[in-house]
Amino acid sequence: MRSDQSAHRRESLTLADGRRLAYTDTGSLDATPVVYCHGAIGTPVDATVDLKTMTDVLGIRYIAPSRPGVGGSDPAPRRTILDFAGDVRQLADALSLERFSVAGVSAGGPYALAVAHRLGHRVDRVAVCSSLSPLCAPHRTPGMRLRIRLALAAVARAPGLCECLGDALLPVAAHHPWLISRVIAAHAAASERERLGSEDERLAASRSFLDAACGGVGGMIADYRTYSADWGFDAAEVRSEVHLWHGLGDPLVPVEHALQLAAALRHCRIFFDPDEGHHFFRSSLGRILGVLIGQEADPGLGVETTIDGVRARIARIGGVGPADRRSAA
């Protein structure tokens, strides 16, 4: 019988500078710790779909801090990606985590690598999925859909105006949460839309966004401007083993980013799935975590695990932009 310690807990920590760091903690307190760096819309107030079951089966303690200004964490003006690694260090100390692994998805990828860069002596392995790279700011990514690039460019260039508009629309989203899942599905790969249309996934998506914006959308806008700027470190300096997962059909973070990271990282295992899009992490959470903590070695059939294999697969599906070829060379 599992104890209450294995429940999904929502907690907060007061950091050294007085800021509050909100985080969720799922799984047994004595299980293998994994620190999760969330994507652009934050960590859900409730556990991710199937997360409680996965933490039980895999024996993982899944700790998900919310970045400054997002999901109940206090803002930190003029922060950098590396500054968040300091927040994670304080959280790990408070939870008595001597060593841990790190997972980061999408916008959380740069933060996961920053944690490994700064706290490498405490980080066993890192998994980044659908991650951004230092290739360029997200709104300048070759191959990204024009409407997405224009929206992100507006956030970068007129953050105050976007914050006002976003905050004005929040009550509409709160009263009609289905709109959130519809927007997410509209920007997903075709292969993912049926899965994202399930009731559980729709509920998780709307709760995640509304929780992230509980203090307004300003935190998410500041976060975008932070991870769009210079990282402050070179990916080649990360010495931990990194598992790089990416869907070749990702319309939000095109494969150019993954190829640049694969070329830069010193100790990298790559897992590219031709049938997945940006929501690869949600569909393959158990597999990604199992490989991360060493319980699984084989990622499964259909996943490319070499740069040459990825190149060949991309060529078969129509090729990518010149930035891709430069970074993979």
Number of structural domains found in the chain: 1
pLDDT in tens, 173-229: 999 988 888 888 877 777 777 777 777 777 888 888 899 999 999 999 999 999 999
What pLDDT is stored for residue 191 in this prediction?
76
- Phi, psi of 167, deg, nearest 5: -65, -35
CATH of the domain at 116: 3.40.50.1820
Per-residue pLDDT band for 327 (boundaries 50, 70, 90) equals very low
pLDDT in tens, 40-59: 987 766 667 678 888 999 99
Contact (Cβ atoms closer than 8 angstroms) between residue 72 and residue 212: no
Single pTM value for the model: 0.88
Residue 301 has pLDDT above 60, yes or no: no
Contact (Cβ atoms closer than 8 angstroms) between residue 62 and residue 26: yes
Per-residue pLDDT band for 307 (boundaries 50, 70, 90) equals low
Residue 251 CA to residue 189 CA, distance in Å, equals 7
Q: Dihedral (C-alpha) 114, 65, 225, 146: value to the nearest 10 degrees?
A: 100
Share of the chain above pLDDT 70, in %: 87
Residue 74 has pLDDT above 90, yes or no: yes
Give me 231's structure tokens.
């990282």
Averaged pLDDT score across all residues of the chain: 86
pLDDT in tens, 87-135: 999 999 999 999 999 999 999 999 999 999 999 999 999 999 999 998 8
Per-residue pLDDT band for 64 (boundaries 50, 70, 90) equals very high
Residue 295 CA to residue 59 CA, distance in Å, equals 10
**What is the 8-class DSSP label of residue 140?**
G
Residue span of the structural domain in which 132 resides = 4-328
What pLDDT is stored for residue 298 in this prediction?
66
Burial readout 269-291 (b: 16 or more C-beta within 10 A, e: otherwise): bbbbbbebbbbbbbbbbbbbbbb
